């Protein structure tokens, strides 16, 4: 009785000290603490009624493919491609399309792309860092008392668990894209939806111009690990786990964060356990054999190492019971690993993206990385899901930790020193082979990272306000700038990748947009003409508008499942399943070139994010993370030093921004002058 009373007092003190809660409003077992949201609509309310991802018409796919390859092939290559595509459309393509439709009809519970896409990810043998796992860096806390590493980590843990518990209890708000949030993101909309039959709920929502999104990926956010296997990995889910994996200086620990009934432990308890873990680690040397390095290895190499490692029953138990099943991974970095420097963020970004890999477990669905200065990032394994689910989680926990953090620098904690049942050091057994395997993986990753170049650009003259003022699509302007920058720097046009979510459909994943178009090519060629041959500002502006129109249509097509990449991918996969020869379309130079994505882009347009990065997808390519915010446009470009010239591209990108902004301003000035004359 006395212990319970003391415990409640500590919780109340913690809440008062952090100035974020009225301690009398709830207990730690109450909904207010246990759930981040208590939605009136169950989380999966719309899932049953979501439309199925359509398979595009074969004729349309062929047309779209030809339009996409035209800017990047010669006239002769294009003419040849047209012939091959027409033969494909009238021949083997029709047969494969019919078989794909038949297979899709027999699997109405999912989408035609879902399983092949999982297989594609899991069968690839390349290392996860740089090749697949992206990095997203959250904005820092502006209040110093919440930015300290252990404080921010504790709040991130609690908010993550509140998100997870809401999801498990079906209390997390369904993911809905509101065309006009002020009119529909409200209780009135939810009341109408609550009386709509589940079989038709999605279509009822459409009447409000509110579009429900697939949420099947959310169940894999927590308690999911990618397990290396020879030939093809597997995903293992442990939704009932009550602990997280914590890494510091390569040492590995697990820490209970839920009690035996599945409730989130109190803030003072979680803070106390994390502090005791850090104190315990301070008594140890950095890991002499940092096992996590192996998760950066080529997948078959890691699979072989893991098979040997778990031949020890102790290792097998610890790895499977503690690591694989953990809800997520928390990586606590030290000063040596770097801190955030706004004037030069690249050293820290490189470390967070892949770095030395000694303090990472890249196989977890989600890893929270908290630097010594409190900078918090997410590094996530990509096979299980895409950006929609990750960004939702990221936005929710950022808002939760900043609006209502549960602990601060002055919060009392419940001591946990010596509590080995709740804070556990993973004392693995290593033999000479495992030591050698870790050393080899470390050396390979270090070699790759030494060859990785990263360049950044912040451009304040272009921002959301600029685009809105001139009636332009921010994304189309950014993509046009990339095409102009590459053409200026390297005198050619190349395969370019932009991802678009198809989560408006059941088990949708992504579709590829191809931002290098005949419209962008025409503009680039026009604007690069000598001054005496230059078109007027008005004519160039009309070409920018044309680029924006084409880009907008590509976006709409992709979002509605009417791209061509996934369809062609599925037809190729069908041929493989049927044991048929690879159709000649897939052997054309055009197909190879469009799928050799030298410019791979991903937008990071969230107000919770300050940076994001990923590796190039081909050896001589650019990994281009970009955003256009209220105050600036920005880009982070990764390249391999001996393969591509990232600094030249970034310099050219700044010049491209200058050029496009100048065209827009000149055109606007000319329009104003004409209006003044008319008046």
Residues with a catalytic annotation lie at 382
Reported as type and span, the H/E element at residue 459 is strand 452-459
CB within 8 Å of 611: residues ≥ 6 apart = 135, 136, 137, 345, 349, 604, 625, 636
* Joined tokens for residue 19: 């100035």
* Joined tokens for residue 411: 């919060």
| Phi, psi dihedrals of residue 2, rounded to the nearest 5° | -65, -45
Of 402, 393, 246, the residue nearest 330 (C-alpha): 246
Measure the CA–CA gap between 308 and 316, rounded to whole angstroms.
10
* Joined tokens for residue 672: 């104003």
* Joined tokens for residue 440: 């080899």
DSSP assignment letter at 323: I
Chain center to CA of 525 = 34
Reported as type and span, the H/E element at residue 332 is strand 329-332
CB 242 within 8 A of CB 71: no
Please list the alpha-helical segments (H only) found in 455-499.
464-469, 474-490
* Joined tokens for residue 633: 């446009």
CB within 8 Å of 200: residues ≥ 6 apart = 49
Reported as type and span, the H/E element at residue 648 is helix 646-678
CB within 8 Å of 75: residues ≥ 6 apart = none
Of 117, 657, 650, 15, the residue nearest 383 (C-alpha): 117
Measure the CA–CA gap between 140 and 146, rounded to whole angstroms.
9
417: left (phi over 0), alpha (psi -120 to 50) or beta: beta
CB 172 within 8 A of CB 37: yes
Chain center to CA of 352 = 14
Measure the CA–CA gap between 45 and 58, rounded to whole angstroms.
33
Of 384, 7, 93, the residue nearest 233 (C-alpha): 384
Angle at 322 between CA 320 and CA 326, to 5 degrees: 100
Q: Could you identify the residue written with the tokens 């160039």?
A: 540
The two beta strands, 366-370 and 251-256, are unpaired
Can you give the C-alpha Rg of the chain in angstroms?
26
Measure the CA–CA gap between 522 and 162, rounded to whole angstroms.
51
| Phi, psi dihedrals of residue 637, rounded to the nearest 5° | -120, 125
CB 445 within 8 A of CB 354: yes
| Phi, psi dihedrals of residue 252, rounded to the nearest 5° | -120, 135
Angle at 484 between CA 479 and CA 485, to 5 degrees: 95
Secondary structure (DSSP) of 389-449 = HHHHHHHHHHHHHHHS-S--TT------TT-TTTEEE------HHHHHHHHHHHHHHHHHH
Reported as type and span, the H/E element at residue 227 is strand 224-227
Angle at 652 between CA 649 and CA 654, to 5 degrees: 115
């Amino acid at each position: 009785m006395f212990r319970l009373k003391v415990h409640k007092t500590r919780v109340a003190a913690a809440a008062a000290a952090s100035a974020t809660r009225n301690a009398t409003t709830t207990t730690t077992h109450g909904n207010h603490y246990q759930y981040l949201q208590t939605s009136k609509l169950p989380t999966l309310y719309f899932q049953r009624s979501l439309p199925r991802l359509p398979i595009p018409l074969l004729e349309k796919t062929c047309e779209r493919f030809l339009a996409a390859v035209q800017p990047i092939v010669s006239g002769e290559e294009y003419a040849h491609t047209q012939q091959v595509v027409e033969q494909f459309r009238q021949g083997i393509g029709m047969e494969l399309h019919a078989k794909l439709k038949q297979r899709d009809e027999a699997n109405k519970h999912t989408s035609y792309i879902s399983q092949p896409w999982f297989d594609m990810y899991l069968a690839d043998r390349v290392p996860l860092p740089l090749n697949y796992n992206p990095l997203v860096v959250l904005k820092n806390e502006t209040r110093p008392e919440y930015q300290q590493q252990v404080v921010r980590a504790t709040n991130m843990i609690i908010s993550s668990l509140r998100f997870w518990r809401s999801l498990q209890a079906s209390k997390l708000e369904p993911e809905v894209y509101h065309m006009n949030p002020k009119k529909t993101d409200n209780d009135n909309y939810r009341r109408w939806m609550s009386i709509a039959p589940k079989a038709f709920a999605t279509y009822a929502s459409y009447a409000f111009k509110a579009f429900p999104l697939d949420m099947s990926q959310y169940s894999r956010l927590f308690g999911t690990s990618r397990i290396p296997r020879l030939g093809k990995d597997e995903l293992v889910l442990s939704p009932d786990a009550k602990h997280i994996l914590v890494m510091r200086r390569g040492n590995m620990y697990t820490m209970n964060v839920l009690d035996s009934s599945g409730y989130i432990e109190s803030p003072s308890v979680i803070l106390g356990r994390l502090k005791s873990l850090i104190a315990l680690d301070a008594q140890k040397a950095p890991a002499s054999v940092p096992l996590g390095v192996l998760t950066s290895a080529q997948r078959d190499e890691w699979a072989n190492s893991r098979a040997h490692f778990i031949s020890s029953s102790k290792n097998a138990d610890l790895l499977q019971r503690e690591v694989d099943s953990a809800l997520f991974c928390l990586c606590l970095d030290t000063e040596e690993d770097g801190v955030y420097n706004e004037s030069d963020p690249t050293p820290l970004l490189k470390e967070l993206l892949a770095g030395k890999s000694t303090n990472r477990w890249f196989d977890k669905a989600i890893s929270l990385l908290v630097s010594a200065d409190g900078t918090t990032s997410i590094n996530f394994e990509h096979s299980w899901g895409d950006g929609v689910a990750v960004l939702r989680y990221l936005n929710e926990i950022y808002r939760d930790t900043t609006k209502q953090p549960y602990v601060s620098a002055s919060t009392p904690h419940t001591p946990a020193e010596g509590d080995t049942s709740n804070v556990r050091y993973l004392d693995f057994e290593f033999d000479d082979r495992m030591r050698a395997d870790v050393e080899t993986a470390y050396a390979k990753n270090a070699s790759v990272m030494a060859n990785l170049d990263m360049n950044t650009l912040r451009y304040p003259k272009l921002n959301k306000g600029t685009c809105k003022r001139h009636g332009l699509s921010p994304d189309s302007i950014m993509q046009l700038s990339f095409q102009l920058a590459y053409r200026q720097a390297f005198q050619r046009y190349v395969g370019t990748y932009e991802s678009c979510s198809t989560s408006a459909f059941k088990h949708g994943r992504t579709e590829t947009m191809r931002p290098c178009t005949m419209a962008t090519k025409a503009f680039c060629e026009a604007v690069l003409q000598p001054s005496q041959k230059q078109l007027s500002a008005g004519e160039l502006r009309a070409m920018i508008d044309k680029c924006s129109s084409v880009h907008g249509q590509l976006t709409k097509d992709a979002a509605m499942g009417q791209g061509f990449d996934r369809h062609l991918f599925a037809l190729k996969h069908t041929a493989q399943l049927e044991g048929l020869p690879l159709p000649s379309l897939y052997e054309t130079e055009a197909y190879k070139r469009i799928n050799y994505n030298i410019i791979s882009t991903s937008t990071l347009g969230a107000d919770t994010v300050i940076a994001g990065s990923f590796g190039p997808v081909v050896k001589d390519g650019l990994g281009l993370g970009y955003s256009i915010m209220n105050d600036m446009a920005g880009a982070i470009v990764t390249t391999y030093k001996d393969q591509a010239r990232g600094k030249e591209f970034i310099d050219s990108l700044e010049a491209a921004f200058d050029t496009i902004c100048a065209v827009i301003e000149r055109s606007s000035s000319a329009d104003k002058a004409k209006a003044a004359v008319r008046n």
